[in-house]
Each structure stands twice: as C-alpha cells, then as structure tokens.
C-alpha cells in the first residue's frame, strides 16, 4: 500500500489530462471529487495526523504545528522531543535555551494504520519518507520499521531519530555518497529554469507582485552553491526536493524489499516541494505549474518502478493532501476575487500581536522584562499567561475576555472563538464543528482567531499560506487506485480522515472502533 501525500495539492491539480503519474492516478483511480479536510486548523502536522489515524486532529493531540504549552508557556513543535532517546541521527547536541531538535511521535495520542497492520499481519512492514520531519512522523504512527525525512539544516540529508533506530541502514549512507556534491546532490542544475509565458496555460505572469523575492521571482532561480547549507535552503523551494525524495523512496522500496513478503507492507510518502513552492509563488504561478509537470513525470517513473518490483495488480495507491492554500493576495485583489476588506488582502500578524500585547498591558499593567506577554499569540491561537495571571491575581477568564474583545474589532478578523465555546460546540456552523474537531483541551489556545474569508493572516509581507477553515484551505484531492477499487468519479462527502478506515477495510484487518473517519465505497 502506497499512501502518497502531496503537500498543499489542490483538487484541480490532480488533472486527468496530465501525461504522467498524477494523470494516471486521476484516470485509473476512484476520485472523490468533493473531498475536503473536516477540521478548521489546516496546517501540515494536523493534516498528516488525520490521514492514517482516522481521527480528527484534536483527538490525535495534534491541533496545530506548534502550540503554546499551557504550563511552561514555551512553544511546542508537534514532533519535537527533548528526550535523549529522540535525538536526530547525525545531528550535533542541542544548545541550551534552544527548542529541542529531537524528533518522535510521542505527542500523538493515537495509533495509526501502520500500527494496526503490523499487529494484525505478522511480517507486515511500515516505512515513511518525506521532505518534512512532521509529515514522515505523523504518517508512521507509533512504531513503523522506519521513518525518514530530510534534515533541513545542512549536509545530513535523509535521516531519522533514535526513537526509530540506533543507526541508519547502510543503503542510506550509500545513497547519499561520501561527498554530497558528488553523491545525492550531483544531479542538481545550476538554476531552476521554467517556462515564463503567461496564459494560455492558465498561470499568472512569471513576475507577479506578492511572490517571495528571496530566490528571485522569475525563471532562473539559483540552486547550486559551494555551501551545502545554501543549497539545502534553495532546494526546498524547487521541484528537485520531490525528485530526490522519490529517488530515496524508490531506493528504500528496493533495498527493504517492500511488497514482496508474505504480508502487505505500507509506505507513507509525503512530498513537500509543492508546499514550499506554493507558499513562495502561489498555486497559480508559473513555478507551481512547472513543479506540477515535473512531479507528474517523476511520479510516472516512480509508479512504474513500484509496479515492476511488486507486480502490477498488487499495489494499492491512495493519494491526498494535508491542506489546500489561498492564492496570492495581490492576485486575488487584482482579479477582483478577494472578499477581504483590507487593502492588499493581508493582515500583518506581527502588528496584530504587538497591538494585542500593548492593549493588555494598558488594561492589566506592564509586563516585567524577561516575562512572556499577558497573552501569547502563536499564529491563530492565543494562550493566556497563567504564570503572570496568578502572580498578579487576575482571573484567566478576564484576560481572555479582554484579548477576545480587542481582537474581535481588528480589521480582517471574522470571529474570535473561546476555548469554552469550541468545547461546547457553540457558535455558527459549519465553523463550530470544524473548530471543535481541531480542539485539544490541553494544547489548543484559550482563543482562536478566525480570519475573514480570503484575508491572509501572515507574519511575512510576501508569499501566501493556509491554516483557515475555508474551503480553499480544506479542499484536497482524494483518490484510491489499484486492485479491488473501481475507477470513476464519486461526488459527495469524503475526507482524508476516511483513508485509514477505508484502507484497513480493504486490507481485511480490523478497523478500530470509535474512529471519526468512515469507510468509503470503493466499488
């Protein structure tokens, strides 16, 4: 079973007219054309958490990528782990005061398809691979045979943590080679050249306002450099990230002899390049279009290699994404498709945070140097500083209410949800249900900010993002293909949270009771 997640893929990008692997899945698979994530906080970690657990993010304990710990007030990364048994292989020791660089799935409060499969079918093996640690770890569940991701800091390449293994297998060292520039990075071009012609291909002009300028806004984005850290930084926003991830995964399939044993094996593969490219240039950019065509071609070769090893008819492929994305604000405004009342369509999250902190200091008093603010703002979530509240004798609810009433009047804000409302399921639908599914009482904020539809809340002045409860951030492709699955297009409700129970049922292993996902009809 191959579960393929393409980070930030929109439904229309799974186009049956594409000549390669994406097109093949769209033509030969069972396409759930109205599929969308069923939770509000549409980020990568929760998006991946639901796919193979069959549970909404709140119940997995992964409400967002990074949350504020209610007691320590420190930021917690969804797969961060300070334990010595979670150190990333090959990484230098952590420096004091920095967030832990260790990685594990210990924040997950749930098991996943891989755990169910290994328990039900002795000999079954589960591996995951991704450009991002959080994606590989979420898809793996508690105990995969291996979970590998690309370490973004430098020359480590694909690695894992001690949680999974004490040492990397030899084939991984061989894949990388002794010198990265003579080994795994040898095939990278000097620059990313791509077509620049405006429509008819449906894309925007190559040089469009609002695109991130860091690596240039037009074809010829630099890639090679003598410093591997520079190459890694650039690689993430080019199609070669996914090319390399697929090559690594193809080598894993061969070296670990996946799909040829007595029991089914599971490979969770998440491709991250589409997400970085979408954030930088927008989903309608020439860059996104070129990346999609290259991915389509790479996937054709990958699926052929998989068929060749495992045998045609013995592979089931499920493809989906962890979230969608909003197109570039500047493009939405220019084409008259923005509903955001703000000029430019952007809400500057840094300004909002500063003004909230100032308003609460005016009301409750100045915050001593070195102390966190009255309310800690991390993206859409706001967590009241319990330590300060206790020291000053101010009730938590009073601080939360002051923050809520301040934020609710700010431009670009549709509604500010309190944790109590979310837990009770109160408030307007469909949002009340979507926010409740994202809610974890220990990890969610005391308040959650809902932006106005098509307003981009971001701390960056360029690029675009996702994370809202609107359909552009929730709608994703969902397709299953392979033996026992009738091709066709199916309309109506379907969600990535349905994949785990659907695949468990297809594999003939017990489907845990109490899941949020439903078994999708495959014929």
Which positions lie near Zn ion, rule CB under 5 A?
7, 44, 275, 322
127/248 Cα distance (integer angstroms): 12
Instruction: Specify the residue, 80 or 496, whose C-beta has the smaller distance to Zn ion.
Output: 496
Closest approach, Cβ 321 to Zn ion, in A, equals 8
283/361 Cα distance (integer angstroms): 40
Q: Tokens for 319, please give them.
A: 């493809």
Closest approach, Cβ 170 to Zn ion, in A, equals 32
Give Cβ neighbours of residue 92 (< 8 Å, ≥ 6 apart). Answer: none
Q: 113 with 512: CB under 8 angstroms?
A: no
Closest approach, Cβ 47 to Zn ion, in A, equals 6
Closest approach, Cβ 449 to Zn ion, in A, equals 20
Closest approach, Cβ 275 to Zn ion, in A, equals 5
Tell me which H or E stretch contains 447. strand 447-451
Instruction: Specify the residue, 134 or 404, whose C-beta has the smaller distance to Zn ion.
Output: 134
163/166 Cα distance (integer angstroms): 8
400/27 Cα distance (integer angstroms): 51
Give phi and psi for 322, each to the nearest 5. -90, -15
Instruction: Specify the residue, 373 or 496, whose C-beta has the smaller distance to Zn ion.
Output: 496
Give Cβ neighbours of residue 431 (< 8 Å, ≥ 6 apart). Answer: 40, 415, 417, 450, 469
Residue ranges in 38-85 assigned as alpha helix (H): 44-53, 57-60
Where are any strands of DSSP class E within 252-305?
Answer: 266-271
Instruction: Specify the residue, 24 or 323, whose C-beta has the smaller distance to Zn ion.
Output: 323
Instruction: Specify the residue, 118 or 320, whose C-beta has the smaller distance to Zn ion.
Output: 320
Closest approach, Cβ 235 to Zn ion, in A, equals 17
Instruction: Specify the residue, 7 or 421, whose C-beta has the smaller distance to Zn ion.
Output: 7
Closest approach, Cβ 276 to Zn ion, in A, equals 9
> Does the CA dihedral 246-251-254-257 come out positive or negative?
negative
Instruction: Specify the residue, 256 or 275, whose C-beta has the smaller distance to Zn ion.
Output: 275
């Amino acid at each position: 079973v191959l579960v393929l997640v393409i980070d930030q893929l929109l439904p229309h990008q799974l186009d049956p007219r594409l000549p390669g692997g994406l097109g093949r899945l769209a033509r030969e698979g069972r396409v759930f054309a109205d599929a969308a994530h069923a939770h509000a906080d549409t980020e990568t970690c929760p998006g991946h958490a639901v796919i193979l657990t069959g549970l909404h993010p709140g119940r997995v304990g992964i409400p967002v990528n990074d949350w504020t710990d209610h007691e320590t007030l420190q930021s917690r990364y969804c797969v961060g782990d300070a334990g010595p048994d979670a150190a990333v292989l090959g990484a230098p020791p952590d420096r004091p005061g920095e967030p832990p660089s260790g990685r594990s799935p210990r924040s997950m409060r749930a098991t996943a398809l891989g755990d169910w499969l290994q328990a039900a079918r002795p000999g079954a093996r589960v591996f995951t691979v991704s450009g991002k640690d959080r994606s590989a770890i979420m898809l793996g569940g508690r105990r995969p045979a291996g979970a590998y991701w690309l370490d973004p800091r430098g020359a480590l390449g694909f690695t894992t943590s001690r949680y999974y293994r004490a040492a990397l297998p030899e084939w991984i060292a061989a894949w990388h080679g002794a010198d990265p520039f003579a080994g795994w990075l040898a095939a990278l071009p000097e620059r990313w050249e791509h077509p620049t012609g405006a429509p008819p291909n449906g894309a925007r002009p190559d040089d469009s306002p609002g695109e991130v300028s860091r690596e240039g806004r037009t074809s010829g984005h630099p890639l090679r450099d003598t410093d591997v850290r520079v190459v890694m930084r650039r690689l993430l926003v080019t199609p070669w990230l996914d090319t390399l991830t697929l090559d690594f995964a193809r080598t894993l399939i061969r070296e670990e002899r996946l799909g040829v044993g007595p029991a089914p094996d599971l490979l969770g593969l998440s491709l991250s390049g589409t997400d970085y490219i979408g954030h930088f240039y927008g989903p309608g950019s020439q860059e996104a279009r070129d990346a999609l065509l290259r991915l389509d071609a790479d996937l054709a070769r990958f699926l052929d290699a998989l068929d060749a090893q495992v045998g045609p008819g013995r592979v089931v492929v499920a493809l989906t994404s962890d979230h969608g994305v909003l197109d570039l604000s500047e493009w939405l405004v220019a084409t008259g498709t923005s509903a955001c009342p703000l000029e430019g369509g952007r809400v500057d999250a840094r300004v909002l945070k500063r003004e909230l902190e100032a308003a609460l200091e005016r009301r409750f008093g100045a915050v001593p140097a070195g102390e966190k603010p009255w309310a800690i703002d991390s993206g859409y979530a706001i967590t009241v500083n319990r330590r300060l509240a206790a020291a000053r004798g101010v009730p938590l609810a009073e601080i939360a209410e002051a923050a809520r009433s301040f934020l609710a009047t700010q431009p670009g804000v549709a509604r500010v949800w309190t944790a109590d409302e979310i837990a009770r399921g109160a408030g307007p639908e469909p949002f009340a249900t979507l926010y409740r599914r994202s809610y974890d009482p220990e990890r969610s904020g005391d308040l959650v900010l809902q932006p106005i539809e098509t307003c981009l809340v971001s701390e960056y002045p360029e690029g675009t993002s996702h994370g809202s409860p609107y359909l552009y951030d929730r709608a994703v492709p969902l397709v299953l293909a392979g033996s026992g699955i009738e091709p066709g297009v199916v309309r109506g409700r379907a969600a990535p949270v349905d994949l785990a129970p659907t695949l468990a049922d297809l594999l003939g292993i017990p489907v845990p009771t109490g899941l949020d996902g439903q078994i999708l009809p495959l014929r």
